[in-house]
Structure 1
Amino acid sequence: MIEIRRSDERGHANHGWLDSYHSFSFADYRDPQHVHFGPLRVINEDRIAGGQGFGTHGHRDMEIVTYVLEGALAHRDSMGNGSTIRPGDVQRMSAGTGVQHSEFNASQDEPAHLLQIWVIPQRAGDQPGYEEKRFDDADKRGRLRVVASPDGRDGSVTIHADASIYAGLIDGAEQATFALPKGRLAYVHVARGALTVNGQALQAGDAAKLSETDTVTLEKGDNAEVLLFDLGPLNG
């Protein structure tokens, strides 16, 4: 079973300094049909103006993954971490019992384009934590490269949730397939470009929700950058 969600069906908020599209209910965007998919709770596609960003604010009991598409994002948090992440970097912050952080566009002139992803953890009340890893284009070219997983396998960041995140670059004749275990869900988000997912044509910002299928096939890419989420049931 496959359900397509088009880019223009997402929630949208433009604050001037921040232009954001919400795949799931977030802030003032309320959609009872799109609150979460398994433990996947948030995918916000954010464009942040130069010199702007999110001042210090708090989170708890959420796994937060940041995936930069263009530009650079400067991060600071109450655990003492400070870093600037760029395309190819994957950042994971486990909010756990509570953490404060800020995120600002590291450039005064150029916009930053990124995905903010929240995944519901398997249990509440864990200690906060932070990790980042780099995955060059060659790691993702024509394949699905795991970038986040519960066990940190193959050099991915570790998220404390029943979810794994894969990133791929698909163009031309390149094809990537994913074997989805029985009873699990897959969510495919097209970050940019275009491709087909199990024969369905998707453009940048589109997504596919898949269940009761054993294979996810990504092909016919046109400079596509894509994220695939392998998800268990929310309380499974």
Structure 2
Amino acid sequence: MLKKLKKENMGTSNLGWLESRFHFSFADYRNPNNINFGVLRVLNDDIIHPKSGFDTHPHQNMEIVSYVIDGEITHKDSMGNEETLKRGEVQYLSAGDGIYHSEHNLHESKDLRLLQIWIIPPATGLPRLYGSQRFTKEQRANKLLNIVSSKEKEAPIQLYQDVNFYVSELEKGKSLDFEIDKNRQVYFTQIEGSSIVNDIELNEGDAMEVTEERKLQIKALENSHFLFIEMKSE
């Protein structure tokens, strides 16, 4: 089963310094029929304007992945970590019993666009994790790059939850296939460009819920940048 989610139907927010598109209920966007997709609780497509950002704030019992699309994100946290990441690079944390952090766009003139993704952990109070990975464009060019997995798998980033994140930048006209195991499902988001996914067209900002399917067939209609999350079926 394929359910296309048009960006025009998603929740939005504009705080001046921050423009967001919410794939699921978040902040002032409340939709009781759109709380989560399996263990995926939050997927926000954020634009943070220059010299602004999220000041220090707490998280607990959530696994958070930030995927940078454009610009630079500077992170600081209560574990003593501080760094700046750029396009295609990833910051992650598992907040466990509590962590404080801040995220800012310190650039003088360039917007920061990123995906903020929250995954529900398999248990509360797990040991805290923090890290980052500096992936290159070559690693995801015309192929699927597995950037996140569970600790039982071998992706560079390993969370507690049983999930896999894949990204790709696929050139116009090129195709990729992905096999979906039984009792697994996929949430697909078209970051840039456009694709045909199992005969359905997705444009920049659109998403798709994929359930009870055994394969993804992805073809780039134009240069296409996408991310999808594979997980257990509900």
TM-score normalised by structure 1 residue count = 0.96
Superimposed CA distance per residue, residues 142-179 of structure 1 (whole angstroms, 9 cap, x where no aligned partner): 12110000037454211111211000112222111111
How big is the shift at 1:183?
0.7
RMSD: 1.2
Comparing 19-28 with 164-173, greater Cα deviation is found at 164-173
1:168 matched residue in structure 2: 168
Is the contact made by 2:38 and 2:232 (CA closer than 8 Å) also made in structure 1? yes
Is the contact made by 1:70 and 1:114 (CA closer than 8 Å) also made in structure 2? yes
| Unpaired segments ≥5 residues, structure 2 | none
Correspondence list, 1:136-151, <5 A = 136-151=136-151
| Unpaired segments ≥5 residues, structure 1 | none
Matched letter for residue 54 of structure 2: F
1:64 matched residue in structure 2: 64
Superimposed CA distance per residue, residues 18-68 of structure 1 (whole angstroms, 9 cap, x where no aligned partner): 000100000110112211001011110111110000000000011100000
How big is the shift at 1:106?
2.5
Identical aligned pairs, as a percentage?
A: 35
What secondary structure is seen at the aligned counterpart in 1 of 2:171?
strand
Superimposed CA distance per residue, residues 86-132 of structure 1 (whole angstroms, 9 cap, x where no aligned partner): 11211111111100000000202211111101011111111211011
Matched letter for residue 100 of structure 2: Q
1:227 matched residue in structure 2: 227
How big is the shift at 1:190?
0.5
The separation in 2 between residues aligned to 1:140 and 1:56, in whole angstroms, is: 32
Residues 152 and 78 (structure 1), Cα distance of their counterparts in 2 relative to 1, 3 Å cut:
farther
Is the contact made by 1:167 and 1:226 (CA closer than 8 Å) also made in structure 2? yes
1:76 matched residue in structure 2: 76
What secondary structure is seen at the aligned counterpart in 1 of 2:138?
helix
Is the contact made by 1:84 and 1:106 (CA closer than 8 Å) also made in structure 2? no
What secondary structure is seen at the aligned counterpart in 2 of 1:219?
strand
